[in-house]
Amino acid sequence: MARYLITGGCGFVGSNLADSLLRDKHEVVVFDNLSRKGTEKNLNWLETNHQGKFRFIKGDIRDFPALQKAVDGPFDAVYHTAGQVAVTTSVTNPREDFEINALGTFNVLEAIRLAKIDPVVIFTSTNKVYGGMEDVKVIERNGRYDYETLPDGADESRPLDFHSPYGCSKGTADQYVRDYARIYGMKTVVFRMSCQYGIRQFGNEDQGWVVHFVIAAHFGKTINIYGDGKQVRDMLFIEDLVRAFRMATARIDDIKGEIFNIGGGPDNVMSLLELVAHMEKVTGRKIELKFGPWRPGDQPVFITNVAKAKARFGWAPTISKTDGVERLYRWVAANEPLFDHMR
């Protein structure tokens, strides 16, 4: 049995990680300030399924003394998933975004360093650290945007080019996590993640677009499209992401200090309009759309090249985009009371 600390452990990624570890009888400490919608529901879900088998600490990563208390004692791994997750929110309130993502991550690293413990540390970064990738020509192909080159997607050799306050704050954190491996010998790994989706996600149009579209489609709501809807993302189902955390942890001696692009890859790509069309087939009804202007920092295309993760620790996505979306839809349909506030 191993011991894990998960910051943001009641969020979408964190709660699924906690559930996976608890099912395998590991000891888990969940650290979360419960500020995001859906986190209390995820905490209740964890408590229902794993009553008395994990420790919950209500705390904020901006609170350094609280983090120091949380990391007291040995941990095999710290999964740092807490953060401010929306580009739009970062534009509205850049100071809060910086304090959560940049300073909060620094606090996590310092708390671990000063505690003189030696856990694996995996940080959830973002593809936004690559910016707009203006050097790669984007073309329209088959009704959606695509790279003219890069058939396998963007890899880790792409230059950093932080766009938006969110990209800057996450990029700062990304580099601190890498440097703590170089300077202090910490066993860190950075996951630069693309679009993740799946059960226990309570997304909105600012963040979590896949589940937002699925929820809206189920309840017959209008979907707002910012831009022309031809923007493309690769999509990664949550179970595959949880596997990536666990496989990277098991191979830490081979990959510490490394960065990995983690996403669905070129086989799991959809545009916004393609997901709408797919949900119309799934639900059997037309979805009303409302179009608005492009949002700041929105990339027309991002497709993840996952070859490095496969080569270095044996991970690759296994759940197809259609299977994943339909599993998510069935979960939403079976749990309507969880979404009463979104109707």
C-alpha dihedral (114, 14, 42, 10), degrees to nearest 10: 20
- Catalytic (active-site) positions: 166
**Tokens describing residue 94:** 């850049």
**Closest to 42 measured CA to CA, from 62, 26, 22:** 22
Is the distance from CB of 235 to CB of 324 less than 8 angstroms? yes
**Closest to 227 measured CA to CA, from 138, 311, 303:** 138
Distance CA 211, CA 141 (A): 25
**Tokens describing residue 103:** 């300073």
Interacting residues of 144 by C-beta distance below 8 A, sequence separation 6+: 230, 231, 232, 271, 273, 274
**Tokens describing residue 180:** 């703590």
DSSP string, 115-162: HT---EEEEEEEGGGGTT-TTS-EEEETTEEEESS-TT-B-TTSPP--
